[in-house]
């Protein structure tokens, strides 16, 4: 096996791990609810039957509010801009596009000068 094949295989496994990692917050959330039901049951004086759904609803609402704030500050767009600044492919594409625009401007200028 070549080094490129090994590197490609490792990268594919990393990609699969990253996809699976997206599920991890849900597991953590479930474990958090299970771990805190007893504490909140004593604190609120309610039975565990009511505390667990209350924690779930409050946490989901909190996640929604946090998502709303992140949406308002345009966090995904800022992430994308940062990735584009660091991307070698995007830098090459932008440079090629600028060169193409310069060539087109020169062609248009030459056409206008020939018409005059």
Shared domain for 12 and 69, answered yes or no, is yes
Provide the token pair at 35: 């771990």
- 62 & 111 share domain: no
Q: What's the pLDDT band for 98 if we cut at 50, 70, 90?
A: very high
Query: Are 69 and 79 in the same domain?
Result: no
pLDDT one-digit tens code per residue, 65-83: 887 888 888 888 888 888 8
**Claim to verify: residue 79 and residue 62 sit in the same structural domain:** no
Which residue range is the domain that position 102 belongs to?
Answer: 75-116
**Of the spans 15-19, 20-24, 91-95, which averages the highest pLDDT?**
91-95
pLDDT of res. 27: 80
Residue pair 37/51 in contact (Cβ under 8 Å)? The answer is yes
pLDDT digits (tens, 9 = 90+) for 21-63: 877 888 888 788 888 888 878 887 877 778 888 888 888 888 8
Tokens describing residue 51: 């505390």
> Does 56 lie in the same domain as 5?
yes
Domains of the chain: total: 2
Give yes or no: residues 32 and 89 share one domain.
no
Same domain, 66 and 88: no
pLDDT higher than 80, residue 90: yes
């Amino acid at each position: 096996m070549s080094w490129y094949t090994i590197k490609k295989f490792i990268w594919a496994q990393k990609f699969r791990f990253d996809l699976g990692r997206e599920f991890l917050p849900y597991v953590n959330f479930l474990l958090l609810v299970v771990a805190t039901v007893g504490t909140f049951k004593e604190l609120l004086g309610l039975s565990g039957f009511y505390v667990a759904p209350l924690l779930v609803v409050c946490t989901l609402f909190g996640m929604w509010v946090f998502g709303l704030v992140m949406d308002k500050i345009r966090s995904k767009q800022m992430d994308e801009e940062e990735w584009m600044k660091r991307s070698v492919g995007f830098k090459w594409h932008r440079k090629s596009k600028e060169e193409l625009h310069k060539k087109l401007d020169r062609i248009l200028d030459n056409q206008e000068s020939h018409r005059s």
